[in-house]
Chain A
């Protein structure tokens, strides 16, 4: 049974006073398996935060349905097993770090001893031990983000939902966050991360969903998407008009490099072989050929580019 499951989840805003409704999320169907690290990616206004809020029951879906741990969206029982870090963490300014965590622990129904033990552990995990008696209004943005993560981790949840976890963090903080997420994944936690910073997500996540304008564009494992987006690369010297046209007709893309070389990207192996044949026939040298090394960023931009077309 997936930890998170949604079917046709839709959220529209407004639309009463002239103009159509804002379609924040449209027919979103997702599945997040247990123990996986799931990256939920998309540009700004893609509907990532709205989706997360619907999973937590903070926003009501316009239509569609979903479950978290087999329970309906917004169920308090499901939230008992969820740790959530909001994108813009805003603690109550008059609490100290320790008192705020104590309040969170009490809301989770933790016993006094369990709470004390967990507070120590999460403060150490996020590096806030020295700020424990500081008022949250006196914390830097990065420290507030760490506190947000601490309160999310406090109840030792089975599912972590993190909305832009590395925003407001300096490079050291980002590195620490990635390490922490990797450790949590190692402990078998299910992690659902929404982020813009693709390189960081790539090092932690197993599965990816890419959304834009509220719609799910692609979902799959990182390796599947990389293979799909990867293709084959052939490097040659500058090409004549005829060769260019012939290659373009195969659906391969050509990119001229500053050093005078041309990189041809073919979608599959058969196209790659045809491109090589055209080059050989036209007397152009084949400098290199092979599978293209793709990053999550390549996948992301390629899928967004396809959507744009």
Chain B
């Protein structure tokens, strides 16, 4: 008797696995990953700025493709109702889908980032320092991108998405509004603590190497609290998604 590979999984993993399998954007994702990896390896030699641009843009794009696609697929009425009608369907399904999506995200990102870092190691003038900086940035930024996009993908069309987007543009708002309001330095610094940790990812190497001890508190605060904030927003978003997505509301 034949049996489905999905059916051989423990029952709790079948729904998230089937969601990812049936989403089925594998070919474009694999082709995009292969082409980008190849392009970075061929064109990236001697171009440190290009490598850093790849490390900056690849994580959010990969997260958007994988997470945005997977959760948009889940929101389709017939998909959502099939998942929701099962016994013990609940928020755990959402966390498990995030775990599987994270593995897929790593599968996309590792070849691209690995090739970029290897290319940098071969061609950079002062390879060790530049490589350390780029590797630390890639790890921190990869994690931040995944968490940010996951929060938006889960909370999309809901208040959570609005909060997340407003928060992501907070540095821009501060840059424009801050000088005009003539805010005190303490207020500006306090608000900076609430800003997204993009800056923290770029400064992590300097903090760890002791070059910017003054930034330690802010960088550590951002990198430590950011996952907790995202976990809270993800929990709210998943609970709302599980109650009913927009498409199946009456």
**A, B bound:** no
Where the two chains meet, the residues of A that have a C-beta atom closer than 8 Å to any C-beta of B are: none
